[in-house]
A = this chain, B = another copy of it.
Amino acid sequence: MDPFLAIDWGTTNRRIYLIEGGQVLHTERDGRGVASGPDFPAEVEAIRTRFGHHKILLAGMIGSTIGWKQAPYVPCPAGLEALADGALDLGDGVYILPGVSRLDDARADVMRGEEVQLIGAVAAGLAPPDALLIQPGTHCKWAAMSDGAIARFTTAMTGELFALLRDNSILAPNLHDPVEPGKAFLTGVAKGLERDLSAELFGIRSAAVLGRSDESGRSSFASGLLIGAEVAGRLAEYPAETAYILADNLLGGLYAQAIEHAGCKAVTIDSHAAFVDGIVRLEKLLP
């Protein structure tokens, strides 16, 4: 089997993979995301010069309106074949993978880049074919997988809300400590499950002014509030006994704690392995 290249090319960062026989021979990450305004043809040429003139699969925001060329969203339900069929063939073995859209009576939603991980997680056997998968982050994705395909999904902008509050709001002076799992976080989760955000958030400031809270726990409490409210909303939309979380250790651990607190079992799975498995299967479907 010939080697190929895959690039998870997001807004801020990109990660390059050289893959052969299902194994990652080399991977590297840099800050040359779509928003940095790279010269895409020149970048792809440079990557091939370094790693060989292989087939190259591009995923993520590179296929959006702010990317290189637009690969239109594939509507869900979307599985491996739908993603491969929706790939934009730029010639010379260069493909941009599409994002996935949801457009039904209940909700409009979009993803771009997460779909490879989601489908790969099931394909690799890390999660069952019918499962609830979660990708925490700035814009957290909750996806209901059905028969290995993305049946429905919902994005919650919880991570961005936290960053806005920490960086720009009246709560900023109270949110400089690191967020940690534990008691303060879980107290926030418990309050967050009641979904009364705008009052509970102001309560962080009031409790600080009145000397009613420990300074060191305020960030964790705030994070717990936001994640708790998200978990309540999403478990109502996607009832499940088990949730599979694709994330790094810290964020994955926080979501796992919040989800378990809400009475659902949480299993953390390897997001890197999921991406690689998904992209390897997609490569086989592209000529």
Tell whether, in the assembled complex, residue A209 and residue B110 are in contact, meaning their CB atoms are under 8 Å apart.
yes
Tell whether, in the assembled complex, residue B108 and residue A156 are in contact, meaning their CB atoms are under 8 Å apart.
no
Tell whether, in the assembled complex, residue B198 and residue A158 are in contact, meaning their CB atoms are under 8 Å apart.
yes
Taken together, the copies of this chain in the complex come to 2
Q: Which of A209-239 contact B (CB under 8 A)?
A: 209-210, 212-213, 226, 229-230, 233-234, 236-237
A161 within 8 A of B: yes
A101 within 8 A of B: yes
Task: Please classify how large the interface on chain A is, using the bins under 10, 10 to 19, 20 to 34, 35 or more.
Answer: 35 or more
> Which residues of B have CB within 8 Å of A237?
199
**26 sample A-B contacts, Cβ–Cβ < 8 Å, listed by A number:** A73-B210, A101-B206, A102-B206, A108-B203, A108-B207, A108-B210, A108-B212, A109-B202, A110-B206, A139-B170, A139-B202, A154-B199, A156-B198, A156-B199, A156-B202, A157-B170, A160-B170, A161-B201, A164-B168, A168-B168, A195-B229, A196-B233, A197-B229, A198-B229, A199-B230, A199-B234
Cα-based distance from A164 to B209 in the complex (angstroms): 22
- Since A103-B210, A199-B234 are in contact, a sample of 16 more A-B pairs with Cβ atoms closer than 8 Å, ordered by chain A residue number, is A73-B210, A102-B206, A103-B212, A107-B203, A108-B213, A109-B206, A110-B206, A110-B210, A154-B199, A156-B202, A161-B201, A168-B168, A195-B229, A198-B226, A198-B229, A199-B237
> Which residues of B have CB within 8 Å of A160?
169-170
Given A203-B109, A229-B197: A101 and B164 within 8 A (CB)? no
Give A161's nearest chain B residue, CB to CB.
B198
